[in-house]
Amino acid sequence: MSNINDQVMVALGTVIEPELNRDIVSLNMVRDLSVVDGIAEFTIVLTTPACPLKDVFIERCESALIGKAPGIEAIRINWDAQVPTDRRIHGRLDVPMNCIVAIGSGKGGVGKSTVATNLAVCLAEAGASVGLIDADILNPNIPQMFGLGSGRPKVVNDKMQPLEVYGVKLISTGFLTTPDKPMIMRGPMLHSAIRQFFTDVDWGRLDYMIVDLPPGTGDAPLSLAQSFPLTGSVIVTQPQDVAVADAIRAAAMFEQLKVPVLGVVENMSGEFFGSGGGEKFAGSRGVPFLGRIPMSALVREGGDYGRPVALHGVNSNAGRAFRKLSEDLAARISVAMLQGADVIPINFVG
């Protein structure tokens, strides 16, 4: 009874998505199927443009179809990507962002802004639309890491325009102050100022919003992490025991706020601080270890001169580590958003 397209779909229904562990048909990832002269052509809609697993998809689809579905001799896959939407954002913030991920740490100086910067440029380079909010009130370093001196966002129709560098849209508390005058804000005022970064900035549609939180577990990070719905958090730590002890407190803070910890990044790994602490910590909390970034002069120079190593040192160890980190994090975000969902809630609604 069923025609060839139906039979191909049934066969594709046996192909398991490697990260989400479910079949690609019930995940609604297969689109626009046509079969002509024994060639099955279709589009696979990935959950992130930063997906390194295309080869795995090709291999799995070939072995499910060729010689299995009647008459299929070859396949042709077109690629598309739609980041799933975190439903919890909608209703709480009237903004078209698919997910919001905070970068936190147990203390300052561990490389939180460096990780936020390099993650953002990697995701943007992969083709995602990415926003970055520098919410570190006392040390807004993001503008410098993107090579911006004294950037002042324009206001158009009552909306602040983010500055765009390396394909990333940026807003920083640093844009609102002068370097010698730190912003002094507490509690509710801080709350509403940062909330305005979401609602009163003309972001357009974003696949990923990344927020560089203030370090530690004090007033500021705590109140900020509660100001907007977070899809998840990433904790950056150095490898040594003392730093890890602080990172554990950061993890406890996110857990208390019911913000999933998407993973732990060990930064400045190498001879000086040692290595392994981040992984041990992740294991002990039962959260994913996302990888380690080596200690490297290229990373520091990238930060100082606004040339992120992920772009300007693509083939360096640190550049590679950041790219891998961005892919793994994108996968963790997809998994976190789709856990328990029946179908991929792709397409931003509302």
Ligand X SMILES: Nc1ncnc2c1ncn2[C@@H]1O[C@H](COP(=O)(O)OP(=O)(O)O)[C@@H](O)[C@H]1O
Q: Give the residues lining the site for ligand X (CB under 6 A).
A: 105, 108-114, 141, 215, 267-268, 293, 295-296, 299-300, 303
By CB atoms closer than 10 A (0-12, 13-18, 19+), residue 350 is: exposed
Contact 89, 95 (CB under 8 A): yes
Figure out which of the listed residues 113, 144, 296, 334 binds Mg ion, where binding follows CB under 5 A. 113
> Residue 323: which H helix or E strand, with range?
helix 317-338
Q: By three-state DSSP, how is residue 238 classified?
A: coil
Which CB sits closer to Mg ion, 11 or 247?
247
Q: Which is nearer to Mg ion, 136 or 328 (CB)?
A: 136
Q: Which residue is nearest to Mg ion (CB)?
A: 113
Residues 106, 38: Cα–Cα separation, whole Å: 57
Binding to Mg ion by CB under 5 A, coded x per residue (else -) over 137-176, reads: ----x-----------------------------------
- How far is CA 200 from each of CA 87, 93, 154, rounded to the nearest angstrom? 21, 11, 12
Kindly state the smallest distance separating residue 111's Cβ from ligand X, in Å. Answer: 3
Ramachandran area for residue 65 (φ above 0: left; ψ -120 to 50: alpha; else beta): alpha
Q: Which is nearer to Mg ion, 47 or 141 (CB)?
A: 141
The minimum distance between CB 36 and ligand X, in angstroms, equals 51
> Is residue 217 within the footprint of Mg ion (CB under 5 A)?
no
**Using CB under 5 A, which of the segments 119-127, 128-136, 203-211, 318-326 binds Mg ion?**
128-136
Q: How far is the CB of 61 from Mg ion (least distance, A)?
A: 43
Residue 293's contacts (CB-CB under 8 Å, 6 or more residues apart) are: 111, 114, 115, 265, 266, 267, 268, 269, 299, 318, 321, 322, 325
Report the residue number, 193 or 268, with the smaller CB distance to ligand X. 268
**Nearer to Mg ion by C-beta: 48 or 113?**
113
